[in-house]
Structure 1
Amino acid sequence: MSGTRVEFLAPPDFVAFAAVDDVEEAYERVVERLGPSAQDLGPDQRRAVTDLYLAASAALTDAGVIWSGTCLGTVAGRLSAATLSVTQAGTEDDSSQEVAVQGLIEALTVPSGPPSRLVSRFDAVVGPVVMTLEQSEGWQIGPQERIPLLSAKAYLPLPSGSNRVLIIELSTPDVDHWPDVYAPVLAQVVRSVRLSGLAATTSAAEPIRRTSTTAPAGPDDPFATVLHP
C-alpha cells in the first residue's frame, strides 16, 4: 500500500480551533465559547479550562496532527470541558496490524509506566486498536489541592506498508463525566475511522465529515465503549 488516507467523523460538539500561546487569549476564547455560562466559572475552573485549551493549542504545533478540537459546555448543569486530537506518528516497523498491536501492548504495559494506566485491546472496523486510560495529577490549584486530568488514547496501527500509527486522544479534567459522556465520544470516533488507498501527499488537514454509520449504544454496551461495528 503506497499511501493511506484517513477519514473519520469529528464529533459535532467538538469545535476545531486556532492555536494560541497566551493565557489571556486562551481564556478569552473559552469565555467566547461558553457564552453566558462563563459567569459561573470559579477561579479553579477558569484555570483548568484555560490550561486545557493551551495544552490542546500546543498539540496543534506537533508534527503529524491531523485535527484537534475542544468541547466546552454543561453536563447536567455542570460545566465540562474536553479536548480531542487525532495525530499520526511514523514508525520504522512494517509489521502487520496484529503484530504492531502486540508490540504496542508490550510497550505500554512496561513496569516503569504509570501504575494507574489501563491498557486494553479492541477490534475496530479498520483493524485492532490499543486503548489506554490513565489519570494524572493535573494542575495544582492550591498548596494541597489539584485538579486531576484524565487522558484516554486509542492507538490504531495502519496497514502494512503505511508505516504509521493513528493516535486519537481525549483529555478532560472532568473525570466524573468520562463514563457517561466522553467514553462514548472517543469510541464513536474510533469506530468511524475509515481508510482508503490514496497517495499520502493528498491526505487532508481536516477530517472528512460524513454521516456516521456506526451502531448506537445498546443494552449490553450502554456507554458505546465496544468498538465492534
Structure 2
Amino acid sequence: MTKSISEILTRLDEQLRERYDPLGSVEGDNGAYRTGHVPHVAPYAYLCSRYARLDDNGVRGAENEAQRYIPEPYKELLRHMNGAWILGVSLHGGIGGSVDRSGVGIGQPVSIWYQNAVERPDYIPDGHLGIGAINGEWSSQGHLYLASTGEVELYNAKFDMIGARWSSLSDFLEDEIPRRYSIYDDEGREIDKSKRLPGDTEDWERLAQEAKGEEERDGILKRMLRKLHRE
C-alpha cells in the first residue's frame, strides 16, 4: 500500500526529532518546531526547521503566491508543514505577502513565489512547480521542481542540467532526507568530504566557479570602462 505524503512526513518528523532533539529543540504552533541546535554555526542555528501547517485557505493563498497550479502531493505537504529547512534541503511555502523577521517563534519558509515567478529560467518546463533547493559545496546549488508527471527533478541553479530525478515527491522525501543523515555527525557538524548534492552533480561546483569568474571579470571590465569614460 502506497503511503501518503502526510504519513511519510510524520515518520520523518519522528526520526529527525529522535536523532536531533538531544542537541536542543524549540516548539512552535500548529506542528512547527526546530531541532538540532548547532551553536557552533550560529547562536540560534538549527539543523531542521519545520514551519506551521496551512489550512485550506492557506494552501489556496500559497497557490496564488506561486502564480501557478500546485499539484495535490505538494498541497498535502503544505497541509502537514508550510515548507521546511531540513539538513540543507529547503522546501518552499506560502508567506502571505509578509515575512516575520522579529526572531519570535519558528519563522517562515522561503516563499514559493521566488522560484516560480521571480527566479525561473526559461528552460524550465511550464508545467513544473518550483518547490525548493539544495545547497551545494560553495556557490553551486540544486533547484527542485515537481513536474506535471509527478516526478521531482533536481536542476542546476544556473544551467539547463538535471543531476537527479525521483519518480514522485514521496520517493524524494523517503530517499533524500534519510541520505542527508550521513552528512552530519552526532554533534551536528558537517562531515568532511560529504556529498551534499545527490545524483550526477560532481561538476556543478566547477561550473559555479567558472560562472563566478566570468561575473568578476565582467565587473572589472565595467569598472575600467567607467573609469576611462570619466577621464
Q: How high is the TM-score relative to the length of structure 2?
A: 0.33
* Structure 1 or 2: more strand by fraction: 1
Higher relative contact order (CA 8 A, sep 6+): 1
**Higher Cα Rg: structure 1 or 2?**
2
